[in-house]
Structure 1
């Protein structure tokens, strides 16, 4: 089961989003240190109980996705992603004619070689719609999440989207996934990589 997949037993708690006392963004009434990252971004609070319930393919567990992305962990097994002198292994969700040469952005963490091979063989979507690349330069560039607006002492969701670091609206966002910008990369053939 993919490390980043969300399970049916891992439902978001009923933690209300509130306007911070300084009125400069949102938070949780019982906010804890791990609710924010090093940039001060507020993150969705979801219990981490992999294996509890059924896997919900297509849904991502916020904390595990962020840990995999920031720590270069394989999105499938949670172990170290494959890294060589040529870079880390990523599968880009694109066709050859859509791949940008100068930079790409993705919400999908890197992979180890065995999991990359297994994933492409097992998933019909991946067989026809991803490009394996080695990436030498990468950096977090933003988050996907929900933008809130003040509504008295509470806050109401107003928009879902992608918000780049440096966006002045970021203090009003509850993030769900970390976005990574990839640069200095080249396409590889998975069949040429040792399994």
Structure 2
């Protein structure tokens, strides 16, 4: 991780996970993104020139340039690769160093309380922060700045889902908005189909058995990091060289 983080724009520290206007992701409009259909049945998203790094956690990821510091920062926009790096490794979203705090907007936590039963894991789409960067996160993040925030101290945390856009296997069109897709579920076959049709842009971590605090000094740390949930084996995708697939332009 670079010791230069966080970068500074016009005197304001820019979080490591923030995107810059030189890093506009290709997303669902990428000309290289296609839906492949197999003669044996099934459809999945891929790139015409897919590389090994394009598929992580068993899911295809949006392609995004890497040019932090070039142009203007988008404090409300997350860079897909840097978000994934920080959340999966427990790194600070501001400086990319080791983190020890989970922060969440007060409004988001209230929504969790309104719809979830006691004991339900809390899903975090944002990486943690280190204690020294917590004030910067509170100022830089629009959600934290306007809504107030809380600190969570979980017993364990684990990567359990991805967020992204899901394609319709019949039309190749994408549903509006960003959806959270779990990496495991009671119906592995159906989940595998859904994951094959999802273009990911972020990871989601589940925080379990947590305590809620109002100050960072009360938090003992991130909690124990468990191994990421393994997605269903997508064994039904034929290798491209078998020529049993047909491209379906998006």
- Asked if these proteins are the same fold (TM beyond 0.5), I'd say yes
Smaller-chain TM-score bracket: 0.7 to 0.9
1:40 maps to what in 2? Answer: 58
On the 8 A contact 1:145/1:175 being kept in 2, the answer is: yes
The gaps in structure 1 that reach 5 residues or longer are 83-88
Tell which deviates more after alignment, 11-20 or 162-171.
Answer: 11-20
2:229 maps to what in 1? Answer: none
Pick the aligned partner of 1:71 from 89, 92, 95: 89
The answer on 1:93 being equivalent to 2:105 is yes
Pick the aligned partner of 2:43 from 24, 29, 50: 24
1:8 maps to what in 2? Answer: 21
On the 8 A contact 2:76/2:142 being kept in 1, the answer is: no
User: TM-score normalised to the size of structure 1?
Assistant: 0.83
On the 8 A contact 1:148/1:159 being kept in 2, the answer is: no
SS at match of 1:50: coil
Looking at structure 1, the residues matched to 143 and 183 of structure 2 have their Cα atoms a distance apart, in angstroms, of 30
Looking at structure 2, the residues matched to 159 and 72 of structure 1 have their Cα atoms a distance apart, in angstroms, of 30
Looking at structure 2, the residues matched to 122 and 21 of structure 1 have their Cα atoms a distance apart, in angstroms, of 44
Number of aligned positions between the proteins: 185
Matches within 5 A, 1:115-134: 115-120=133-138, 125-126=143-144, 128-134=147-153
Shift, 1:15, TM fit: 4.0
Matches within 5 A, 1:139-154: 139-150=158-169
Looking at structure 2, the residues matched to 51 and 11 of structure 1 have their Cα atoms a distance apart, in angstroms, of 13
The gaps in structure 2 that reach 5 residues or longer are 1-13, 185-190, 220-250
- Tell which structure's C-alpha radius of gyration is larger: 2
Q: 1:124/1:172 Cα in 2 relative to 1: closer, same or farther (>3 Å)?
A: closer
Matches within 5 A, 1:170-181: 170-181=195-206
Deviations 1:112-142 (A, max 9, x none): 0011133225667425431112222111121
SS at match of 2:106: coil
Shift, 1:193, TM fit: 5.9
On the 8 A contact 1:18/1:28 being kept in 2, the answer is: yes
Looking at structure 2, the residues matched to 50 and 163 of structure 1 have their Cα atoms a distance apart, in angstroms, of 28
